[in-house]
Amino acid sequence: MIYIGCHLSVTAGYKAMGERMSRFGGNTFAWFTRNPRGGKSKPLIPEDVEALCSHVKKEGFGPLVAHGSYTMNLCSAKEETRLNGFEMLQKDLQRMKMIPGNLYNFHPGAHTGQGTEAGIRLISEALNQVMKPDMPTMVLLETMAGKGSEIGGSFEELREIIDRVECKDRIGVCLDTCHVWDGGYDIVHRPDEVLQHFDDVIGLSRLKAVHFNDSKNDLGSHKDRHEKLGQGSLGMEAMKRIALHPVLQGLPFILETPNEDEGYMEEIRIIKEWQEEG
Ligand code: FE
Ligand code: FE
Ligand code: ZN
């Protein structure tokens, strides 16, 4: 089985997210550690976070997948942007200590003209300054669509970052199905080959979470526009094969599809139905 859930707003607090996901029928979820665009974050209330921790334990949730801000760019050509990103990363990982044993995913960054090599170096240097061997959080690099100067559009780029990270047992990858497809990996017709390639380049043991999205665009479009499950270019059959793929079992699957509550509940229901059949 897989754990299934969707991206939630943190506005009503942490405990509220857990309860909301239970009402949705899911058993994992994602949230932005701070305003995804503005970069601000409200202070955590210890009682609220503790209530979430006991809820997920009681309900048998899988690992939760926090998402770093979109504005965080550890490899921008602008020093101010890099420093801002660094500060966000540092604070986010500090807060994640209150929810031990979970995952923190972020977009590696965009080199904004400096070149891939420089981007990879800046990202890994930032990670090495912040990550500690005793931290209770796994840091995940997200597979990207390769839009503009984005780093992480290929498994090889992620591997290069991982190679330079010192805390090897705290670093992993979150595979976004829309992004890898947009990045040129044909997970619709060749899921086995793509996952084999992931294993050869990065190692499947580093794969800790999946962002489960359909795509508005074609294979290799490098666009990054998510679509509702089954309504995009991946299609329902391919999504089902991915959800039931043997090497992905046990992972948290997060929906980041363009939906309101109703739509998420329906997608969660469909995925649970596949699992019951399968
Ligand atoms: Fe993301
Ligand atoms: Fe994603
Ligand atoms: Zn995306």
pLDDT, tens digit, 9 for 90 and up, residues 234-243: 999 999 999 9
Question: For residue 64, how far is its CA from the centre of ligand 2 (angstroms)?
Answer: 14
Question: For residue 212, how far is its CA from the centre of ligand 2 (angstroms)?
Answer: 8
DSSP, res 148: T
Q: How confident is the model at residue 8 (pLDDT cuts 50, 70, 90)?
A: very high
Q: How confident is the model at residue 42 (pLDDT cuts 50, 70, 90)?
A: confident
Q: Which ligand is in closest contact with the Cα of 69?
A: 1
pLDDT above 80 for 36: no
pLDDT above 90 for 31: yes
Look up the CATH number of domain 3-277.
3.20.20.150
Question: For residue 246, how far is its CA from the centre of ligand 2 (angstroms)?
Answer: 21
Q: Which ligand is in closest contact with the Cα of 211?
A: 2
pLDDT above 80 for 130: yes
Please list all protein residues whose beta carbon sits less than 5 angstroms from ligand 1, which is an ion: 142
CB 115, CB 147: distance < 8 Å:
no
Question: For residue 71, how far is its CA from the centre of ligand 2 (angstroms)?
Answer: 14
Q: How far is CA 79 from CA 74, 85, 112, 124, 212, in A?
A: 9, 10, 12, 16, 33
Cα separation, 173 vs 179, in Å, equals 13
**Three-state SS for 209?**
strand
Question: For residue 272, how far is its CA from the centre of ligand 1 (angstroms)?
Answer: 23
Cα separation, 190 vs 199, in Å, equals 14
Question: For residue 177, how far is its CA from the centre of ligand 2 (angstroms)?
Answer: 8
Q: How far is CA 84 from CA 80, 117, 131, in A?
A: 6, 21, 17
pLDDT above 90 for 158: yes
Alpha helices for the chain (secondary structure H): 14-24, 46-58, 79-96, 116-130, 155-164, 177-182, 191-201, 236-243, 261-277
pLDDT, tens digit, 9 for 90 and up, residues 170-209: 999 999 999 999 999 999 999 999 999 999 999 999 999 9
Question: For residue 253, how far is its CA from the centre of ligand 2 (angstroms)?
Answer: 11
Q: How far is CA 143 from CA 147, 153, 157, 159, 269, in A?
A: 11, 6, 9, 11, 26
Question: For residue 54, how far is its CA from the centre of ligand 3 (angstroms)?
Answer: 31
